C-alpha cells in the first residue's frame, strides 16, 4: 500500500505545549512528594490520557475529596469558578490552557452582546460558557433564543466544523439576526483540514488517526467523506479496519491531539499490510 501523508497533521502547538507542561508538573510533584492531577482529559486522546496516567497524573473533575497537589488545567480550559475552587483548596495550578482558548475567553469577557457558537458538550465551550450567562448556539435550530435588532459578538469553538458554522451564520442572516464573529476556527485546525484537501485527489481513501471524542479528528473524517473518499477513524493500531487494506493508495492524517508514536505505529502497520 502506498501512503500519502498530509503536509500538516497530529499535535498542534497548543497540545504539544500542554503535554510538556503536564509531564513537567508530574516531575515537580514527584520532587515535592505531592499528588499530580489534571482537570478531566488534558486533550481529547485516550493514548495521551494513558501516557499521563503512567506518569502518575490522575484525572479529576473538581478539588472535592482530593488531597491538595499540583493540578494541570486541560488544553481547552476550565471555568473561572472551578479555577477559584482549586485555588481555595490549596492546589498549585499549572495552566496548560491553549493561548488561543485563553485569548478567546478574554475577548468573550469584553464583548458587547456576546454569544458562543459551538458544541455545548465540548470542554472548551463549557469553560467559555462559565464566563457568565452567555447564550450558546450549537445548531441553526438554537438561533430562536437570539433577538433581532441586536448586534451579537460571537466567539467560535476553535475546532468547530466549518460547514456547521456556515449553516448557523447563513440561517442567522436569513432570520435577520446580526452576528459578528470576533474569533474564528483556530489556525491549527484549518491547517490540518487544508492539508487533507490538498492530497485528496491522489488517494483512494483516508486513514485519520485520533479519537472519536476529538472534534478536530471527527471533522477531518467528515471532510474526507464529503470529498467522496472512504475515511476511517483509527484510535489505536489494533482498530485499523481490514477493509482499509483493499486500497492501493491511502491518505494519512491525524487530529491535533493524536501523539506522534501512535501515528507512526499506524503508518508502519499500513505499510506492512497490517503486520
Contact footprint for ligand SF4 (CB under 6 A): 12-15, 75, 98, 100-101, 158-159, 186, 188-189, 216, 256
Q: Which residue, 196 or 250, has its beta carbon nearer to ligand SF4? A: 196
Q: Which residue, 158 or 161, has its beta carbon nearer to ligand SF4? A: 158
Cβ 233 to ligand SF4 shortest distance, Å: 17
Cα–Cα nearest to 154, from 166, 137, 174: 137
CA 241, CA 168: separation in Å to the nearest integer? 34
Q: Which residue, 185 or 250, has its beta carbon nearer to ligand SF4? A: 185
The DSSP 8-state label assigned to residue 157 in this structure reads P
Q: Which residue, 48 or 240, has its beta carbon nearer to ligand SF4? A: 48
Q: How far is CA 274 from CA 3, 14, 188, 252, 255, in A?
A: 13, 32, 30, 15, 21
- Report CA Rg, the chain: 20
Cβ 264 to ligand SF4 shortest distance, Å: 20
CA 243, CA 268: separation in Å to the nearest integer? 17
Number of neighbours of residue 140 by Cβ within 10 angstroms: 16
DSSP string across 162-200: HHHHHHHHHHHHHTT-EEEESS-S-HHHHHHHHHHHHHG
Question: Which residues, 6 or more positions from 144, have their beta carbon under 8 angstroms from its beta carbon?
Answer: none
Identify whether the C-beta of residue 103 lies closer than 8 Å to the C-beta of residue 77.
Answer: no
Cβ 153 to ligand SF4 shortest distance, Å: 19
Q: Which residue, 161 or 189, has its beta carbon nearer to ligand SF4? A: 189
Cell numbers placing 209: 488517526
Q: Is 98 helix (H, G, I), strand (E, B) or coil?
A: coil
Cβ 124 to ligand SF4 shortest distance, Å: 7
Cβ 268 to ligand SF4 shortest distance, Å: 26
Cell numbers placing 144: 430562536
CB nearest ligand SF4: which residue?
14
* Stated length of the chain: 275
Cβ 273 to ligand SF4 shortest distance, Å: 32
Cβ 16 to ligand SF4 shortest distance, Å: 9
Q: Which residue, 69 or 255, has its beta carbon nearer to ligand SF4? A: 255
Q: Which residue, 172 or 256, has its beta carbon nearer to ligand SF4? A: 256
Amino acid at each position: 500500500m502506498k501512503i500519502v501523508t498530509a503536509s500538516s497533521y497530529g499535535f498542534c502547538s497548543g497540545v504539544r505545549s500542554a503535554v510538556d507542561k503536564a509531564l513537567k508538573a508530574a516531575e515537580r510533584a514527584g520532587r515535592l512528594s505531592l499528588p499530580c492531577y489534571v482537570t478531566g482529559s488534558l486533550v481529547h486522546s485516550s493514548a495521551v490520557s494513558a501516557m499521563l496516567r503512567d506518569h502518575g497524573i490522575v484525572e479529576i473533575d473538581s478539588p472535592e475529596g482530593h488531597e491538595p497537589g499540583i493540578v494541570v488545567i486541560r488544553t481547552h480550559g476550565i471555568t473561572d469558578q472551578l479555577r477559584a475552587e482549586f485555588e481555595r483548596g490549596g492546589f498549585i495550578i499549572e495552566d496548560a490552557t491553549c493561548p488561543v482558548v485563553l485569548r478567546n475567553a478574554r475577548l468573550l469577557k469584553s464583548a458587547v452582546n456576546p454569544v458562543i457558537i459551538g458544541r455545548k458538550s465540548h470542554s472548551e465551550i463549557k469553560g467559555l460558557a462559565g464566563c457568565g450567562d452567555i447564550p450558546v448556539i450549537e445548531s441553526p435550530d438554537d438561533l430562536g433564543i437570539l433577538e433581532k435588532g441586536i448586534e451579537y459578538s460571537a466567539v467560535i469553538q476553535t475546532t468547530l466544523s466549518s460547514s456547521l458554522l456556515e449553516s448557523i451564520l447563513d440561517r442567522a442572516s436569513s432570520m435577520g439576526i446580526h452576528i459578528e464573529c470576533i474569533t474564528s476556527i483556530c489556525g491549527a485546525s484549518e491547517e490540518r483540514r487544508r492539508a487533507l484537501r490538498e492530497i485528496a485527489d491522489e488517494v483512494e481513501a483516508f486513514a485519520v488517526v485520533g479519537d472519536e471524542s476529538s472534534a478536530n479528528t471527527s471533522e477531518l473524517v467528515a471532510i474526507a467523506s464529503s470529498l467522496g473518499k472512504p475515511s476511517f477513524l483509527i484510535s489505536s493500531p489494533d482498530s485499523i479496519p481490514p477493509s482499509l487494506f483493499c486500497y492501493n493508495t491511502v491518505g494519512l492524517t491525524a487530529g491535533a491531539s493524536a501523539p506522534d508514536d501512535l501515528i507512526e505505529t499506524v503508518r508502519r502497520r499500513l505499510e506492512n499490510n497490517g503486520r
